[in-house]
Amino acid sequence: MKIDRVRLFPIITPRETGVTNQHILVRLDTADGATGWGEMSDLSHLPLHQIDWPALERQLAALLVGQDPANLLRLEDQLLRAFPEESYKYSRSGAVRQGVDAALLDLVARAQGVPVHQLLGGQLRDKLKVCYPFFALRSVEQARQSLVRLAEKRAEGFDLIRVYVGANPEADVVFLQGVADQFAGQVAVKSLDFSNALDWRRCWALTERYTDIVEVMLVESVAPAHDLDGLAEFRRRSRWPVSEHVFHLFHGWQLLRRGSVDILNLSPYLLGSLSVCLRLVALAEAARASVLLGTTQELSLGTAAIAHLGAAARVLDYPSDSAGPRLYTADVTRAPVQYEAGYLKVPTGPGLGIEVDEALVAQLAGTGWSFGTNFAAARDRTPT
Ligand code: MG
Ligand code: MG
């Protein structure tokens, strides 16, 4: 089996919150008719410049055509040389590798007639507990609207949320008090996510204030990016486990070695492959640390890849963040990934277990940045 063709399909999908997000789908074909699809998910994050996708398509073809797709570790190594680690939460390199990695896994598993988790060593679980996100609140009015959306999400079966906090404490308090008053016993709060926007001391003061209102399972990104000492200062004082996004394998080691976190937040969009995510799961296992699976808000293809990762992860002791297919109001698949009672079900079909509908790919084709130069909107995922 040899890769014969690499194609990229830029698309735009709307979200229920009114913003639109870019993604690039990856299609790999072999000369003997095997196909795999992957997804570079949610490219609508800073930096402001976007991927020159025709150029990227040519470069990926130069790298991949003629190679055996089943040689997954060799290809991962080559992709890592071509698209190096970037130490940034919205790494473009990570997204490129993520899309190709998923397409390779989909292609190889389909050719073998097995689900992707079989390629990862088998299945430890058939569903993952997930939470629904509430993005940063800039106003009390937004907080009230978010409580209305929470009632809708509760009706859809979500009973766990994560909340981006710190942008406007008054709005945070209104939202969290609403959660406590209107949803007690129905909705739990997985995490308060400070998004690396505040120093650890400010995060600590707000955590103490907010946890007087609602109990939370964990806190995330409670210091500026790269501030390992700030995270460790917070963690020494905290009865809540501290989670942080992992940029790359060595970063995972640094976070654990320095006592900066309890939980590694692992995500293929950032780390670039399911295989490196599993190596970080092993690192967490060795350190007796915890793991959760993060998100940038993937479509069904990207979410399915995370579900297969979760199926095969030996350590996975906190709920995952994969709710993308419930945020977007359009997708490119014949049927989306399935959610049931607050769980994401691991697809059972061959490959990623998701069938791409090429008519929908054509319908959603396009590129475009929806946030202008309003960087708070880009970060908070709110309409400008
Ligand atoms: Mg986060
Ligand atoms: Mg995102």
Instruction: Report the separation in Å between the CA atom of 114 and the middle of ligand 2, taken as the mean of its atom positions.
Output: 30
Check residue 381 and give its pLDDT.
85
How far is the C-alpha of 99 from the C-alpha of 301, rounded, in Å?
Answer: 10
Active site includes 88? Answer: no
Check residue 85 and give its pLDDT.
96
Any domain includes 295:
yes
Check residue 17 and give its pLDDT.
85
Distances (CA, A) of 156 to 176, 273, 343: 20, 31, 11
Check residue 368 and give its pLDDT.
86
Task: Reply yes or no on whether the pLDDT at 338 is more than 90.
Answer: yes
The residues, ordered by sequence, that sit 6+ positions from 35 with a Cβ below 8 Å of its Cβ are 27, 28, 29, 107, 110
Residues 16 and 34 in one domain: yes
Residues 123 and 211 in one domain: yes
Instruction: Report the separation in Å between the CA atom of 186 and the middle of ligand 1, taken as the mean of its atom positions.
Output: 23
Q: For position 208, which CATH number holds?
A: 3.20.20.120
Any domain includes 272:
yes
Residues 96 and 199 in one domain: no
Minimal CA–CA distance to 255: which of 296, 293, 223? 223
Sign of CA dihedral 334, 338, 339, 340: positive
Residues 124 and 99 in one domain: no
Check residue 31 and give its pLDDT.
94
Q: For position 88, which CATH number holds?
A: 3.30.390.10
For 275-332, the pLDDT digits (tens) are 999 999 999 999 999 999 999 999 999 999 999 999 999 999 999 999 999 999 999 9
For 250-267, the pLDDT digits (tens) are 999 999 999 999 999 999
Which entry of 90, 132, 328, 339 is annotated as an active-site residue?
90
Instruction: Report the separation in Å between the CA atom of 377 and the middle of ligand 2, taken as the mean of its atom positions.
Output: 12
Give the closest ligand to the alpha carbon of residue 265: 1
Residues 140 and 156 in one domain: yes
Residues 149 and 45 in one domain: no
The phi and psi torsions of 166 (rounded to 5 degrees) equal: 105, -15
Distances (CA, A) of 176 to 155, 206, 258, 259: 19, 12, 32, 29
For 68-111, the pLDDT digits (tens) are 999 999 999 999 999 999 999 999 999 999 999 999 999 999 99
Question: Percent of the chain scored above 90 by pLDDT?
Answer: 95
Any domain includes 235:
yes
Which entry of 164, 210, 269, 339 is annotated as an active-site residue?
164
Instruction: Report the separation in Å between the CA atom of 66 and the middle of ligand 2, taken as the mean of its atom positions.
Output: 33
Residues 22 and 130 in one domain: no
Identify whether the C-beta of residue 253 lies closer than 8 Å to the C-beta of residue 261.
no
**Per-residue pLDDT averaged across 369-383, rounded?**
88
Instruction: Report the separation in Å between the CA atom of 12 and the middle of ligand 2, taken as the mean of its atom positions.
Output: 13
Beta bridge partners of 291: 264
Instruction: Report the separation in Å between the CA atom of 9 and the middle of ligand 2, taken as the mean of its atom positions.
Output: 19
Cα of first residue to Cα of last residue in the chain, in angstroms, is 48
For 339-366, the pLDDT digits (tens) are 999 999 999 999 999 999 999 999 999 9
Any domain includes 212:
yes
Check residue 382 and give its pLDDT.
83
CA dihedral of residues 168, 89, 282, 308 (deg, nearest 10): 90
Check residue 152 and give its pLDDT.
95
Any domain includes 358:
no
Instruction: Report the separation in Å between the CA atom of 68 and the middle of ligand 1, taken as the mean of its atom positions.
Output: 36
Crossing angle of the two packed helices 72-82 and 274-286, in degrees rounded to 10: 100
Give the closest ligand to the alpha carbon of residue 296: 2
How far is the C-alpha of 98 from the C-alpha of 266, rounded, in Å?
Answer: 13
Residues 139 and 192 in one domain: yes
Check residue 41 and give its pLDDT.
98
How far is the C-alpha of 169 from the C-alpha of 174, rounded, in Å?
Answer: 9
Task: Reply yes or no on whether the pLDDT at 384 is more than 80.
Answer: no
Range of the domain at 101: 3-116
Give the closest ligand to the alpha carbon of residue 295: 2
Q: What's this model's pTM, rounded to 2 decimal places?
A: 0.97
Any domain includes 368:
no
Task: Reply yes or no on whether the pLDDT at 211 is more than 90.
Answer: yes
Any domain includes 360:
no
Active site includes 318? Answer: no
Crossing angle of the two packed helices 169-182 and 200-210, in degrees rounded to 10: 30
Residues 218 and 267 in one domain: yes
How far is the C-alpha of 238 from the C-alpha of 208, rounded, in Å?
Answer: 9
Sign of CA dihedral 102, 341, 134, 241: negative
Identify whether the C-beta of residue 280 lies closer than 8 Å to the C-beta of residue 252.
yes
How far is the C-alpha of 292 from the C-alpha of 344, rounded, in Å?
Answer: 14
Instruction: Report the separation in Å between the CA atom of 280 and the middle of ligand 1, taken as the mean of its atom positions.
Output: 17
Residues 209 and 309 in one domain: yes
Beta-strand runs (E) in 320-368: 339-340, 343-345
Chain-wide mean pLDDT for the chain?
97
Domain-terminating residue out of 116, 135, 153 = 116
How far is the C-alpha of 361 from the C-alpha of 378, rounded, in Å?
Answer: 24
Give the closest ligand to the alpha carbon of residue 328: 2
Minimal CA–CA distance to 97: which of 342, 272, 285? 272
Give the closest ligand to the alpha carbon of residue 222: 1
Any domain includes 263:
yes
pLDDT: which is higher, 4 or 16: 4
Residues 177 and 89 in one domain: no
DSSP for residue 22: E
Check residue 380 and give its pLDDT.
85
Query: Residue 83 carries which side chain, given as an amino acid letter?
Result: F
Check residue 379 and give its pLDDT.
87
Beta bridge partners of 162: 133, 191
Domain-terminating residue out of 72, 94, 116 = 116
